[in-house]
Structure 1
Amino acid sequence: MEAISERPLTRRRTLRGLGGAGAVGALWLTGCATAPTTSAQQTASSAAASSASPVAETGIKDLAVGEDPVVRTSMTTAWLKPGQGRGWTDEPVIKADARPDQWLSRMDVAQQRGLLGRTDTQAALGSRVTVRELSGDWVKVSFLDQAAPNDHGHQTSWVPRAHVVRDLGFLSAQTADGAQVVRVTADSTGVFDGEGMEQTLVVVPFDTRLPLLEQGEKASKILLPNEREGWIASADVAVGQPALGTVEQVFETARSFDGTPYLWGGISPFGIDCSGFTYTVLRSHGILLPRDAGPQLNHSGLPKVSADDLTPGDLLFYSLVPGGEKIRHVALYLGKGHGIHAPFVGRPVCIETLQEINIKRDYAGAVRPRYAEA
């Protein structure tokens, strides 16, 4: 993982209601020194570091079928077949140290549409996968936090082999009893190479989750794959796994994606598709759905509700043709006849009336996630 220095890091906005917010851009202009920690913080940091210490074999091991490596780059993009990248256009997400934040700017609308039938999903730095097949510079993996109704039980597709690493120490830190994690609550933020936060190692998107080593007032020390450590702005992360969110908190996060560009297979503010939107927003509030729209309707285990009994927070689904069973789209119902969704290539996340969302008259049903009481 090489240091990044070619341009300032920017964010469109801060995602609210998730326990963290901050202006990351300022770090590139002035740097950010870590304030002295209190004795209570030092105690907490020591406990976190202790719990994150490897409890089993450590070190970098060769990839092998059936083993569980982790994503080692900012975000990996998964492809339905190996080697489907289109040269310069897809180079930002094919190269070893992927830059998904630079990808969409290289594509016109036709090239974005060309991703249909090529890409499948994405996964952020530190995400666990299981190796299914190795083929040259590519590896077929199952994404362990993206459920799917297939033989593996998880979304399964191809990523560049350089994007994953079998780091046993990192895996131990993720799974140790009492291990602490940080979750990115900003659109994106930088991970820096030292406490002075002057050189950026990697840009990570919303809801990236990494083991916490030390918690500070202004910056926190985290563990990275490939036996590396980094520092991240404490204002841009929350500590711990997400608690079950209220419907109001989910709406706040969903609305913060308003204007996010559509990207087939996307799951972040760098670019997102319809089911990636509902998957990511609800996951950030402790509600884990299958990755794709059809399974979200038919394999999520959530209760189905009728069209005349909708309540705010329900997920609305649409088929390929009126009355069809194959699901093509999902939206989040906000109430009062409006929903928020990622419409299609060329149209960003937006709030529309249900009549506008259902323009093809292909409404196919709804399910009701369980939210925390307000």
Structure 2
Amino acid sequence: MALIGCILVKPIISQAAGNSEEHVFEAEEDMIAYIDVAVATLWTEPNILREVDQPSASNPVAIWKWKEDMTYEQELQLSGDGMLETQALYGNKVTILETEGEWVKVAVDGQPTPKEELGYSGWMPASQLTYTTKFANKTDDPFVMVDAPTSYLYHTPAFRHQGMEISYNTRLPYLGESKHAYRVMLPSGSHAWVKKADAKTYESQKAIPTPTGQALVEAGKQFLGLHYLWAGMSGFGFDCSGFTFTLYQSHGITIPRDSSIQATHGEPVAYEDIQPGDLLFFAHDQGKGSVHHVAMYAGDGKMIHSPNSKKDVEIIPVTTKGYYEELSGIRRYLSKTD
């Protein structure tokens, strides 16, 4: 057993490149842990899952099945009943704030919000978390970041024995490489391989090159046709602000998690000065009320966004009826380029 501060952690049997085995994790408040599934969904309360939600709360998760099995009405319930907060990706660092039975409330590192100093918070099953000193000691080292919509972990550099499917923007410590693959460390402390065609390596977050606005737009186009998911933060599904947040974070720039807060940061921009990569915000009461949606300007009078539970990521004219009337402001998080 390992003692972390005053926290007792039982030996952890976790997933190695996607193998499902018994997982044991005992957590207490103030403990640092790491996401041990492809994407963890954070709920507003513990134990509020519907039967259809079970694939999202297992280890390993089955996010595609969860999305495919939900009816439109069940999708709407996630937002209408305020069931979800956000998501966190495989290997993300979290701080445990509370525990209740087999559930833990965690704050996600790297997801800024005025609601919680440590990061956006919500409830998730403790079984989707892990901690190994080996992984924790590597989190400030060079890393591999997935830049395809999703990719897979493999047991060998020849891509035999395909394992877990992981998301865009997933970051795992770099251990080495072959001609066509990067060797990465998993939160369990074991290792796996990722296709070079699906990822890039960086020395640190600060080493990620500053993007152009058009580069952000091109990255977003990979997800055209991906169905919306309330609170979504991954290549398995995004909500509107999860989409813009993830595109920026994957290019080395951290912005607030929620659209209402994104709308108060960055540099205000007049519509006549808009350029690709700028964020457009939409508000109730003909643009004068509270912000409820965000999109990214894609150039040529169009915007790219993840709109709502009826739709997929799409590119439409900014002047589209139902949107343009509610345009409340534009913000820039990049330096202006001429």
Instruction: Answer yes or no: same fold by TM over 0.5.
Output: yes
The worse-fitting range, judged by mean Cα deviation, of 341-350 and 304-313 is 304-313
- CA distance in 2: counterparts of 1:232 and 1:163, whole angstroms: 21
- CA distance in 2: counterparts of 1:308 and 1:248, whole angstroms: 17
Note closer, same or farther for the CA distance 1:372–1:169 as it changes in structure 2 (3 Å cut): farther
Amino acid at match of 1:164: L
Please list the CA deviations of residues 102-154 of structure 1 after superposition, one character each: whole Å capped at 9, or x if unmatched. Answer: 32111121111111111111111000111100111111011111000114352
Q: Secondary structure at the match of 2:138?
A: helix
- In structure 1, the partner of 2:245 is 279
- In structure 2, the partner of 1:337 is 301
- CA distance in 2: counterparts of 1:293 and 1:357, whole angstroms: 20
TM-score by length of 2: 0.87
- In structure 1, the partner of 2:65 is 102
Question: How much has 1:360 moved relative to structure 2?
Answer: 7.0
- Is the 2:182–2:194 contact (alpha carbons within 8 Å) kept by the matching residues of 1? yes
- CA distance in 2: counterparts of 1:343 and 1:256, whole angstroms: 16
Amino acid at match of 1:84: I
Pair 1:227 & 2:227 matched: no
Note closer, same or farther for the CA distance 1:227–1:5 as it changes in structure 2 (3 Å cut): closer
**Superposition RMSD on alpha carbons, in Å?**
2.2
Matched length: 315
Q: Which runs of 5+ in 1 are unaligned?
A: 7-59
Note closer, same or farther for the CA distance 1:169–1:294 as it changes in structure 2 (3 Å cut): same
Note closer, same or farther for the CA distance 1:337–1:373 as it changes in structure 2 (3 Å cut): closer
- CA distance in 2: counterparts of 1:265 and 1:223, whole angstroms: 27
Note closer, same or farther for the CA distance 1:209–1:151 as it changes in structure 2 (3 Å cut): closer
- In structure 1, the partner of 2:95 is 130
- In structure 2, the partner of 1:263 is 229
Note closer, same or farther for the CA distance 1:230–1:372 as it changes in structure 2 (3 Å cut): farther
- CA distance in 1: counterparts of 2:139 and 2:318, whole angstroms: 41
- Aligned equivalent of 2:152, options 173, 179, 190: 190
1:144-163 equivalent positions in 2, closer than 5 A: 144-163=109-128
Question: How much has 1:235 moved relative to structure 2?
Answer: 1.7
- Aligned equivalent of 1:71, options 35, 60, 75: 35
Note closer, same or farther for the CA distance 1:134–1:123 as it changes in structure 2 (3 Å cut): same
Note closer, same or farther for the CA distance 1:202–1:357 as it changes in structure 2 (3 Å cut): farther
Question: How much has 1:63 moved relative to structure 2?
Answer: 2.4
- Is the 2:212–2:277 contact (alpha carbons within 8 Å) kept by the matching residues of 1? no
Amino acid at match of 1:309: D
Kindly report structure 1 stretches of 4+ aligned residues shifted beyond 4 Å: 2-6, 371-374
Question: How much has 1:249 moved relative to structure 2?
Answer: 1.1
TM-score by length of 1: 0.79
- CA distance in 2: counterparts of 1:311 and 1:373, whole angstroms: 8
Q: Which runs of 5+ in 2 are unaligned?
A: 1-14
Pair 1:291 & 2:257 matched: yes
Pair 1:217 & 2:179 matched: yes
- In structure 2, the partner of 1:244 is 210
Q: Secondary structure at the match of 2:174?
A: strand
- CA distance in 1: counterparts of 2:292 and 2:173, whole angstroms: 36
- CA distance in 2: counterparts of 1:231 and 1:370, whole angstroms: 33
Question: How much has 1:368 moved relative to structure 2?
Answer: 0.7
- CA distance in 2: counterparts of 1:61 and 1:227, whole angstroms: 15
- CA distance in 2: counterparts of 1:75 and 1:372, whole angstroms: 34
- In structure 1, the partner of 2:170 is 208
